[in-house]
Amino acid sequence: MGIQARGHRRSRWAVLPLLAVVALAGCASASGNTQPGQAQSKTAQSKAAQSTPVPSKTGTGASSVSVSWASVGAGWSLAEYSGSTAGGVTPRKAGPTLVYLVGPSGYRDALYEWPAGQASWFLLDWSGDKARALFGGPDGEVGQLVLATGKFTSFKLPGGAQAIGYSRPDGTAILATQQVMSTDKVLRYDLTGHLEQTLASGPANADSTAVYAPDGTSLAVNGPKALEQVSNTGHVVRSLPVPGNPACQPARWWNASTILASCIAPGHTGSRLWLVPVSGATPTTLTAQRGSKGPDLGDINAWSLPSGLYLQATGACGVIYIAKPTSTGAAATVTVPATTGNDNQIVAADGARLLVRAQTSCESSTSLLWFNPATHAVQLLMRAPAGTAGVIADVPYGHGS
């Protein structure tokens, strides 16, 4: 769930895990330009999101069965799908871009559509109350889609601030970054763009992140000298140094009391995962230090399933893949059937399965699937035809923490 719209300045701050930033660098959005308000809504519901049935669509590969928003929860996600040609494919062809609601058992419904050549909005976040989706748009604009009604609105934040996500837990405010001279700030705005609070401020550093705690009362950030827990009112709660690792980024909250951090120790180029208690207790290593020969050149995130620990690993030439620690601490590559293995990005975990955005053709077409590492079973939720960009963004409900 930390994200910036692709093409924006890399900020010192991001709300979701580092992987989201890495993933965006390799994603291609639909071609063409649009002005705010040009997108075409595909829904006409007027009741509250929590009680309104999700309208079913036909002709778009969507389900013919409606569900209630009240039934949407763990395992569900919002996916942005581009029908344009994938990056590197010629001749270029623009296609429509759609926002789908995707269920854990294969349900999907197209909630919104931009016609071919009119989409330049990138899905950033999904509010915890299920009501709204947040988008980054042209020239740093902010777009919001009310999911139950299909109403899309947009505005600009003041001072060049850029939206990066919603507040937690319900998404009643917007998180944004702003660069002033050599200082980066993370700010909280209300849903209409009025400043509520400056949450953190520090020297500009493109590799830093800020990750909300599940209850929304604090954030994990990497301060000038160490990880820090910062309150939702902008005060430093506690400094959380990781021994021997001055360069650490919070990947996400492992649980309510522990931060999962990705650290690069002096003399190394690959990141290593640590578990950092917010109580101030001594951090512990989750993965071994990787070398320079790979295939695992560094670990940037991890999820624990009944079948074991699964890592988001980085390889040569920008490859992102799934790995599993062995008894010696080494990382064994986890093969996902029906994928190329070059770009398997874990979105979330639910039960025994991983939700994965995966490259499913050599033309960098990206599909969305469930993968059970224990059984190697794959359930394709959205498959992109070869040569089509496919699923360019996916945000799980609750961010899959």
Confidence of residue 88 (pLDDT cuts 50, 70, 90): confident
> pLDDT (tens digit, 9 = 90+) per residue, 18-38?
333 333 333 333 222 222 233
Q: CA 260 from chain center: how many Å? A: 16
d(C-alpha 155, C-alpha 144), whole Å:
9
Q: Could you tell me if residue 7 is inside a domain?
A: no
Complete DSSP assignment for 219-253 = EEEE-SSSEEEEETTS-EEEEE-BTTBSEEEEEEE
> pLDDT (tens digit, 9 = 90+) per residue, 298-352?
999 999 999 999 999 999 888 899 999 999 999 999 999 999 988 999 999 999 9
Q: In this structure, are residues 225 and 205 in contact, taking their beta carbons and an 8 Å threshold?
A: no
Q: Could you tell me if residue 1 is inside a domain?
A: no
Report pLDDT for 91. 85
Q: Could you tell me if residue 2 is inside a domain?
A: no
Res. 9: pLDDT tops 70: no
Let me know the angle formed at the C-alpha of 191 by 260 and 255, rounded to the nearest 5 degrees.
15
Tell which wins on pLDDT, 114 or 2: 114
Q: Could you tell me if residue 192 is inside a domain?
A: yes
Look at residues 13, 249, 232, 197 and name the one whose alpha carbon lies nearest to residue 240.
Answer: 249
Res. 67: pLDDT tops 70: yes
Q: Could you tell me if residue 3 is inside a domain?
A: no
Residue 377 tokens read as 């079973």
Res. 153: pLDDT tops 90: yes
d(C-alpha 86, C-alpha 366), whole Å:
9
The CATH number covering residue 207 comes to: 2.130.10.10
Q: In this structure, are residues 337 and 361 in contact, taking their beta carbons and an 8 Å threshold?
A: no
Residue 291 tokens read as 């070398």
Residue 63 tokens read as 């389900």
For the chain, give the mean pLDDT.
Answer: 82
Number of domains in the chain: 1
- What share of the chain has pLDDT > 90, as a percent? 60
Q: Could you tell me if residue 29 is inside a domain?
A: yes
Q: Could you tell me if residue 107 is inside a domain?
A: yes
Q: Could you tell me if residue 27 is inside a domain?
A: yes
Report pLDDT for 206. 55
Range of the domain at 161: 18-400
> pLDDT (tens digit, 9 = 90+) per residue, 178-231?
888 888 888 899 999 999 999 988 777 655 578 899 999 999 988 777 899 999
First to last CA, the chain: 9
